[in-house]
Amino acid sequence: MNDSFVIGVDYGTDSVRSVMLNARNGDEVASAVFYYPRWRDGLYCDAASNRFRQHPLDYVEGLTATIRECITKAGPLSASAVKAISVDTTGSTPVAVDKTGTPLALLPEFENNPNAMFVLWKDHTSTKEAAEINAHAEKFDVNYLQFVGGIYSSEWFWAKLLHILREDESVRNACYSWVEHCDWIPFLLTGGTAVSAMKRGVCSAGHKALWAKEYGGLPPDTFFSSIDPLLKGFTERLFKETYTSDKPAGNLSEEWAHRLGLSTDVIVGVGAFDAHMGAVGGQIEPYHLSKVMGTSTCDMLVAPMEEVDGKLVRGICGQVPGSVIPGMMGLEAGQSAFGDTYAWFKNIVAWPVNNLLQKSSVIDAATADLLKKEINDSIISTLANEAAALPLKENDELAVDWLNGRRTPDANQLLKGAISGLNLASDAPRIFKALVEATCFGAKAIVDRFNHEGVPVKGLIGLGGVAKKSSYIMQVMADVMNMPIRIHTSEQTCAAGAAMFAATAAGLYKTVEDAMAAMGSGFDNHYNPNPANVTLYARRFEKYKRLGECVS
């Protein structure tokens, strides 16, 4: 294969990153990141009510800026060698669109309306609607929740749609259809003008929207309209067919080719969620749990279809054929807060620094800013070093990690976190230690559920910022799990996975597995469990479960 370039675009919670890779060997040619300015400024969000919305302009501006920067960095001849672009996004992050597939927030009358914007994955304003869907599903002979673990979450597609329709009459009247972020970006890049022609990915459709081939597509309209008449007719305006992400969504439109400085010959692949493409970028193997550890975690597992036929894992985020690797079953789980837990505690510890330094009469404003940045940048690493040095005792402070609800096992976004065993010796490192252990205990609960349901977890693969940056957290994870963890070399497994899918969609590789083998960068670190800690953590895990029962 001659040198051909592919671009993977990874939309995260705070930013979008594009990477340009050499499709022949996976070498990174260029990368660029864009932080969403409206999101950074806290616009359209209200954390107190669990409302987190993102403006589509943040996405569009970031897409343009990062791809153009990659091409500039790669040099003048790079544009002609770009063969394909694929995109991953957070999810479920849907938006209301009109018949043309245009998000309502891009229309003048809705440009500042949060209900017309993308409803971010971590938005939990639809807990009431999710509870109604769960109760309603019990009335039907067909279990329409069977492939999503038996519990529908407020983080997902239909609950968010119903909440927005109820919340805002103006959006309700203008909303023709409801679209996932990962499906809208390829539609945008290919110049789509009718939402009815949008190619929806099986990843988002199966894991969040209840699509399954066993139902012939989505559940029937009567299922949804009998929950609330506001949902009547939506199944007809959504989709019946879905596509795996090794397929092209189309070619780059003339408008976007001109905007990016690329050719209309560039293939745009079908989109998917970040953790699903990230698992491919991290070179997932059957029965090895691929853990993308960022603000939350998404845990992916793939298994041969014939080996899991008839097995339904309760309380996870779905099992969908082809959602990760075409031809294999993709199973998803995860935690609603992981890195967010540490960030929450950092903000508490740093409150005096962030709020009082500017009022100091001892130092000037410029020095205060520098000091504020220096302290904030070092808090987590310092806490981790101090926590790692603490002796481990069975009756240490104990926490439950549900600060943003519980994703899996058994989704419940109304649950709250807790810390017990506090005393006058409970300082910041000891509490941080309890929070780290809690997030690892939450991860173990997921592994235990897979094992209990007959889908064995045979290994762990660590991906994402936390896995790369914190040896302390990863060692605790290995000890709690009593299982080795391999850490993937790539800093950008989600974007790299998107690039691998792009290479496959463009026909540079026959299968995703071929692209993964040729373009993967391997593993550069691993953590083995410390036998001295395994038994003690097992006892603390039982205490964690009992504490969880008390606060749930």
- Position 34: which residue type? F
Query: pLDDT tens-digit profile of 512-532?
Result: 999 999 999 999 999 999 999
CA nearest neighbour of 497 among 8, 3, 6: 8
Q: What are phi and psi of 318, to 5 degrees?
A: 110, 155
- What pLDDT score was predicted for residue 465? 85
| DSSP collapsed to 3 states, 201-215 | EHHHHHHHCCCEHHH
Q: How far apart are CA 326 and CA 280, in angstroms?
A: 11
Please tell me the predicted confidence (pLDDT) of residue 502. 98
Task: Give 290-293 contacts, CB < 8 A, sequence gap 24+.
Answer: 290/461, 290/463, 291/443, 291/460, 291/461, 291/462, 291/463, 291/464, 291/467, 292/463, 292/464, 292/493, 292/494, 293/338, 293/339, 293/462, 293/463, 293/464, 293/465, 293/466, 293/467
Kindly state whether residues 447 and 495 are assigned to the same domain: no
Q: Does residue 40 sit in the same domain as residue 82? A: yes
Query: How much is the average pLDDT of 401-406?
Result: 94
68 C-beta neighbours (distance < 10 Å), count: 17
Q: Dihedral (C-alpha) 377, 382, 385, 390: value to the nearest 10 degrees?
A: -150
* pLDDT value of position 464: 85
Average pLDDT over residues 286-312: 93
Q: What is the CATH number of the domain that holds 444?
A: 3.30.420.40
pLDDT of residue 238: 96
**Pair 258, 343 in one domain:** no
pLDDT above 90 as % of the chain: 95
- As a whole number, mean pLDDT of residues 176-191 equals 98
Cβ neighbors of 513 (< 8 A, separation 6 or more) are 325
Q: Does a structural domain hold residue 248?
A: yes
Please state, rounded to an integer, the average pLDDT across all residues of the chain: 96
Residues 231 and 358 in one domain: no
Number of domains in the chain: 2
User: Per DSSP, what are the bridge partners of residue 89?
Assistant: 273
| Confidence band of 1 (pLDDT split at 50, 70, 90) | low
Same domain, 505 and 435: no
Q: Say yes or no: 431 and 499 in one domain.
A: no
Domain assignment present for residue 199? The answer is: yes
E strand or H helix at 167, and its extent? Answer: helix 157-167
CB 175 within 8 A of CB 116: no
Residue 184 is assigned to a structural domain of this protein: yes
Average pLDDT over residues 82-90: 98
Asked if 352 and 255 sit in the same domain, the reply is no
Residue type at 414?
A: L
Same domain, 364 and 453: yes
Whether the pLDDT of residue 552 is over 90: the answer is no
- How do 94-97 and 177-180 pair as beta strands? antiparallel
Peptide bond into 409 cis (omega under 30): yes
Query: How many other CB atoms are there within 10 angstroms of residue 392's CB atom?
Result: 15
- Tokens 């968010």 identify what position? 160
Phi first, then psi, for residue 333 (nearest 5°) are -140, -170
Checking phi first, is residue 545 left (phi over 0); if not, alpha (psi -120 to 50) or beta?
Answer: alpha
Distance CA 262, CA 387 (A): 50
- Spatial CA neighbour of 291 closest among 435, 407, 181: 407
Whether residue 381 lies inside any domain: the answer is yes
pLDDT at 286 over 60: yes
Given a contact cutoff of 8 angstroms between Cβ atoms, the answer to whether 278 and 463 are in contact is: yes
Same domain, 190 and 172: yes
Q: Flag whether pLDDT at 309 surpasses 90.
A: no
Estimate to the nearest angstrom the gap between the alpha carbon of 383 and the chain centroid. 26
How far is Cα 15 from Cα 182, in angstroms, rounded to an integer?
A: 15
In angstroms, what CA-CA distances link 540 with 337, 363, 441, 531, 544? 20, 45, 9, 15, 6
Domain that holds residue 106: 5-282+491-521
Among 29-33, 308-312, 435-439, the minimum mean pLDDT is found in: 308-312
pLDDT value at residue 3:
82
Give residue for tokens 């792009």.
502
Same domain? 446 vs 500: no
Q: What pLDDT score does 506 carry?
A: 98
Backbone φ and ψ of 543, nearest 5°: -65, -40
Q: Please check whether residue 16 is in contact with residue 33, taking contact to mean a CB–CB distance below 8 angstroms.
A: yes
Distance CA 331, CA 246 (A): 18
- 82 with 224, same domain: the answer is yes
Query: Are 6 and 21 spatial neighbours (Cβ–Cβ below 8 Å)?
Result: yes
Kindly list the distances between the CA atom of residue 285 and the CA atoms of 180, 463, 516, 519, in Å, as whole numbers in the listed order.
Answer: 27, 14, 11, 15
Terminal Cα-to-Cα distance of the chain (whole angstroms): 56
Q: Let me know if residue 348 belongs to a domain.
A: yes
Burial class (CB in 10 A: 0-12, 13-18, 19+), 109: exposed
Handedness of CA 428, 433, 436, 437 (dihedral sign): negative
User: Looking at the domain assignment, is residue 96 inside a domain?
Assistant: yes
Distance between CA atoms of 256 and 260, rounded to whole angstroms? Answer: 6
What mean pLDDT is predicted for residues 489-510? 96
**Domain presence at residue 421:** yes
Verify that 407 and 501 share a domain, yes or no.
no
Q: What percent of the chain has pLDDT over 70?
A: 100
Query: What pLDDT does 19 receive?
Result: 98
Q: Is 79 helix (H, G, I), strand (E, B) or coil?
A: helix
Asked, for residue 329, whether it belongs to a domain, the answer is no
The arithmetic mean of pLDDT across residues 146-172, rounded, is 97
Q: pTM of the full predicted structure?
A: 0.92
Supply angle C-alpha 274, 54, 277, rounded to 5: 5
